[in-house]
Amino acid sequence: MWIYEHTTKRRLFKTPVIISYQTIGTESVQSYLRECYEKKYWLMCDCTTPPAIMFLRRQSKDGEIVLVNHSQFGSHGAECEFYSSVKGSPREINFNGALVSAGEKRHHVQLYRNFTSDIPSAASPSSASSNSEMRIDSFIRLVWQLFEDSLTQLADISQPSPSELISLLKVRDAGQQVILCKQENLKKHLYVDAKGFGLLKSNMKKAHRLNSSRRHQSVLLLFATHLEFRNESLRLTTYKGEVFYIDNVRRKNIKINRFDLYDTPCLVALSFCYESPESKPEDLICIKWFAQPFVNLKFPILVHSNYEKIVIDYAIHFLSNYPDIHNPCLYKPLSAIVDNRTQKEFIPSFTVSFSQANKTRRFALFLQETEIENVYPDDTQFSNTFDSIEILKLYEIQTVETLKYRIRMILEDAINRLNL
C-alpha cells in the first residue's frame, strides 16, 4: 500500500503500517489514517497494474476512517481483499492448474465491500486488468477450500459414503475455520439445501432490519439435478426432486471451464447481500454464483471437466470392486500439492493411495487433453510425495470404453506394484 498525492498525481512512499481488513479497525492504523486524511492523502494498492486508487472517508457517526475505491481507477486485483465485486461483472474462469497455489488458504473473507459511500466502486470489465482474467474468483476459491477442508474431495472407498445432506453439512462445518467480514465465522452465514434457503432469507431480512448500514452477507450451497436461469430467476431441482426458485439473481453464473448449466448433477453455490442500506428487507439479491459438476451423489467430489467426471467415477467404481486391496482412497485436489523435498507444486486430476501392512503407495494421474499441453512434472520432482506419476493422453482415446480400459490398466499396474 502506497501513499498517493492526488493533487500532484504522485506516488509518494509505502505506508509504514499494514492496512488490511484485519488491521483497519485498530487504533494504530486509524490514527495513521486520520493523519493521511488531514493531509488529504489518498492510498494506492499495488495488487494489480495499474495500481488501484482509494480515498479516505470519515464516517460521520463515529469518526472512523474508511477506504473507498475510486470510481474510475479503483479496480483491485481479483484476489485483493479490497477488491469489490458488486459492481463488477462475472468473469469466465479458464482453469489452469498452476493458479491455486497451496499456500493460498483464506481465514478471513469479505464477499462484498461494506457500504461505505454512495460512490460506486470501480471494477468495471473494461478497466479490469488483463491478468485478473487468469485468476480464480475469490468466491469460487472459498467454496473449493471448504470442499477440501471437509474432505469432500476425498473418497475413502472402503467406508460407507455419507448422505447428500450430511455431505453438505460437513462442508458447512468447514466454514467454522473462516471469519466473514471481520465478524463471525462463515458457518453461521452458510446455509445448505432448499430448507436452508428459507432460513437464509428470514435471517438476512432480520439482520438488515436491525442494522441496515452494515452489508450482511450469506452463502447458500446445494446439490441440484437440474437448473435453469431466465430473467433473473433461477429454477432449481434438488436431488430430492424438490423444485424451487431463487429470484433477484442479478448476473449470469461465473463459468468454470467449458461447463454449461445443463452439466448436472452439480453443486450450486450462491452468495447474497443487499444492494444498499436503503434496500427493502425483501430485496435480497444474489450477485455471484456458479454451478460446478461433481462425480456422483455418493461422492460429491468437484471436478474441472467432464472427462474428469467420467474417469473418477469409473476409477471409484473399479477400486470398490477390486478384491484384496486395502484402504483405497481417491483424492481430487482443488489446490496445489507441494512436494516437501523439492517444494514443487502441481495439481493432478486425481491421486490414489493404497495401503497394505505398513506400506502405503500413492500415485498421481494427469489427464492431458491436447497434444500441446506440457505442464507435467517428472517423477523426480515428486518422489517424496508419489511413487509414480501417470499421464493419460485423452487426445489419443476415441471412445469412453477405451478410456475406461486405460484407467483400468493404470490402476491394475499400481496395485500389482504394491503387491510386489
List of residues contacting Zn ion (CB under 5 A): 45, 47, 52, 76, 80, 82
Radius of gyration (C-alpha) of the chain in whole angstroms: 24
When the beta carbons of 19 and 414 are compared against Zn ion, the nearer one is 19
Task: Tell me the closest approach of the beta carbon of residue 40 to Zn ion, in angstroms.
Answer: 21
When the beta carbons of 75 and 167 are compared against Zn ion, the nearer one is 75
C-alpha distances in Å from residue 316, one per residue of 132, 311, 312, 408: 36, 9, 6, 11
When the beta carbons of 69 and 150 are compared against Zn ion, the nearer one is 69
When the beta carbons of 47 and 100 are compared against Zn ion, the nearer one is 47
When the beta carbons of 54 and 179 are compared against Zn ion, the nearer one is 54
Task: Tell me the closest approach of the beta carbon of residue 123 to Zn ion, in angstroms.
Answer: 11
Cα–Cα dist 223/296, whole Å: 10
Cβ neighbour number for residue 366 with a 10 Å cutoff: 19
| CB-CB contact of 312 with 301 (8 Å) | yes
DSSP labels, 18-43? --STTTTTSHHHHHHHHHHHHTT-EE
| CB-CB contact of 316 with 154 (8 Å) | no
When the beta carbons of 77 and 196 are compared against Zn ion, the nearer one is 77
Task: Tell me the closest approach of the beta carbon of residue 83 to Zn ion, in angstroms.
Answer: 6
Q: Of the candidates 167, 203, 198, which has an alpha carbon nearest to the alpha carbon of residue 184?
A: 203
Specify the 3-state DSSP secondary structure of 253. coil
For residue 30, give every residue at least 6 positions away whose Cβ sits within 8 Å of its Cβ, in sequence order, or none: 24, 64, 65
Residue 207 in grid coordinates: 439482520
Q: Of the candidates 275, 267, 297, 299, which has an alpha carbon nearest to the alpha carbon of residue 142?
A: 267
Task: Tell me the closest approach of the beta carbon of residue 180 to Zn ion, in angstroms.
Answer: 19
Task: Tell me the closest approach of the beta carbon of residue 117 to Zn ion, in angstroms.
Answer: 18
When the beta carbons of 84 and 351 are compared against Zn ion, the nearer one is 84
Task: Tell me the closest approach of the beta carbon of residue 16 to Zn ion, in angstroms.
Answer: 18
Cβ neighbour number for residue 396 with a 10 Å cutoff: 10
Task: Tell me the closest approach of the beta carbon of residue 74 to Zn ion, in angstroms.
Answer: 9
